[in-house]
Structure 1
């Protein structure tokens, strides 16, 4: 379905709901469809898990209960890292996950979520919805028998919790850090020993000393995991996840069998889940960060030499991967071409505005004197 056709169809359907206060007429005689959606996340992470719930509730409301998608938390049907396999194999019709969990199958999956020094949330949305990102990424995931729909973003993440300060690149050598995907491979070039550990197992691993440091998401979710009780240094930014996107993977055969009207509502519901997740994080992170700092957490920015070294290591990894993986090369080049234009625009206006607001004068301060 073309983007314009989808927007027109979904928009008309939603307009009908709002105008009449009930489900559109087509739903009255529509078939009953029940799907199962497995999540990569536990219910305790209500913001990430909640995006799938937002999607599910909207689908039911928009079809007068005719189309229902029941969401299952990680571990209830399959483990958090088995969502793609479950959808691909037809165990369930759909799943809510982060594509970069599957870089072990193909590194191209990382481009569906986030790569080190990649797009922020707004840039990714623009690439996906308008810049052709959905088409080029779906060309890839279609080879796995699934169709992908954007359904969530955390925004730029934090750089994680560390027992010791990171002052130089040398401090990374031998560090056992909970991190996976491409970021883990980048940091491995600088001596880090990356550890792939599910969210629910991070706290005990850090507490027992199995790992030296851990990254997860940001203040709102990190506080829930209690990582501040074990490691006091909280670093930023998480340069490996400037705007990590979550997706709903749908089995292609199940999608093809779904009525067109239901397809339009499903895609619109994913869009709502995408918007709501980011809004919830933007609302929840500030108070959570204040609480962490008040409790003794020490904020630290990664030193510029460390950031520079990581950036150059990332470029080296992308070149190596592109040279041996045509699928990655195709999506990566499309992604980076769009990103370069975005960075240029943000440098002119968006970034300038944000920087001023972060350093604006305090109320009542005297205006700067003219030279």
Structure 2
């Protein structure tokens, strides 16, 4: 943080009649000249499409909106800290900001997984509604408060794909013994279905799949999967992404660093993050179908639907996994109750709105060419 010399020239005047101290106009001018240089660490490869470019856009927006008073240097995974150490870096003040997904911190705060992705849970539109208008953000910040971290939702993937496999999956039995990269609650569900779960940052997925260190992986969706070249390392591409109806990405903010910002810079940062939250999801919505067509038509990828018996078992195990997480702490129970109640309400409405409209628009379903 840099403090220009004008900030030291704060003029105080005494109002004799009242005995009160009044800050002169020089105070505001001094504050307006104060500049801050922040670091932002992420869990993604530098400038990776979608999720990796969101932090870059955030930094650009903040610098422009603040007229250069707050600048943010963005680091990809491994440049300053490893991708799975972003939370610690922000908590400890190594970096003022982080961009990641909350299910990576299940070892520190298991209930954080509710704010990333819940199998068969809410999609991006529904999650944003819960977080911003259903009390979700307040619970999320309560969860992180002991770590000295503030949080804002900073993007969403939308419904993800079911994953890449080097083995055809025709039944639940075909999952037994597979080694797969899948984080969060979905990974726990797959583990109960006989899959050995391996966690790793995105940058390690391709080589692990290509070398046979893992037999299957999920990442995000066609836009990012094509960028990683996963079609060169696996034979089958499955849908739907029951395990991640969306992933909500997070902007982690060191609490002390946030408090040190003037009110206008705090507002600028929050506004810029809200912009990123929308733009990341917009980009995935715009890019995924084009990328899928490229995978199918130019790279001859075999697109397969996950068998019904696999989905049914996954749904059953998901109920158990989520219920056990809800019982892990008093706060986890409150988060789950809030999440569940909001989902029930929004599902009821979407049955006669979104879902009904999709059925009316596409009575025979979509087409994949």
Q: The TM-score by the shorter chain falls in which range? A: 0.7 to 0.9
Counterpart residue number, 1:336 = 340
Q: SS of 2:200's equivalent?
A: coil
Counterpart residue number, 2:95 = 92
Structure with more of its chain in helix, by fraction: 1
Are 2:236 and 1:233 equivalent residues in the alignment? Answer: yes
Pair 1:293–1:179, CA change in 2 (3 A): same
Residues of 1 paired with 2:55 and 2:272: CA distance? Answer: 9
Residue 356 of structure 2 is aligned with which of 349, 352, 355?
352
CA shift digits 1:159-210 (9 cap, x unpaired): 1111222121111111111112211111111111111121111111111111
Larger Rg: 2
Are 2:269 and 1:269 equivalent residues in the alignment? Answer: no
Maintained 8 Å contact 1:93/1:250? yes
Pair 1:85–1:288, CA change in 2 (3 A): same
Aligned pair count?
A: 338
Q: SS of 2:337's equivalent?
A: helix
Q: TM-score, normalised by structure 1?
A: 0.87
Are 2:146 and 1:143 equivalent residues in the alignment? Answer: yes
Residues of 2 paired with 1:248 and 1:361: CA distance? Answer: 36
Residues of 1 paired with 2:29 and 2:333: CA distance? Answer: 44
Pair 1:26–1:41, CA change in 2 (3 A): farther
Residue 312 of structure 1 is aligned with which of 293, 312, 316?
316
Residues of 1 paired with 2:329 and 2:241: CA distance? Answer: 26
Maintained 8 Å contact 1:54/1:272? no
Residues of 2 paired with 1:59 and 1:109: CA distance? Answer: 27
Are 2:106 and 1:103 equivalent residues in the alignment? Answer: yes
Q: SS of 1:96's equivalent?
A: strand
Maintained 8 Å contact 1:27/1:66? no
Q: SS of 2:53's equivalent?
A: helix
Maintained 8 Å contact 2:47/2:53? no
Residue 300 of structure 1 is aligned with which of 300, 304, 329?
304
Q: Which runs of 5+ in 1 are unaligned?
A: 1-24, 363-371
Q: SS of 2:37's equivalent?
A: strand
Q: TM-score, normalised by structure 2?
A: 0.88
Maintained 8 Å contact 2:49/2:227? no
Maintained 8 Å contact 2:40/2:95? yes
Cα RMSD (Å) of the superposition?
A: 1.8
Residue 122 of structure 1 is aligned with which of 93, 112, 125?
125
Maintained 8 Å contact 1:38/1:77? yes
Deviation at 1:342, TM superposition (A): 1.1
Deviation at 1:282, TM superposition (A): 1.0
Maintained 8 Å contact 1:86/1:92? yes
Deviation at 1:305, TM superposition (A): 1.8
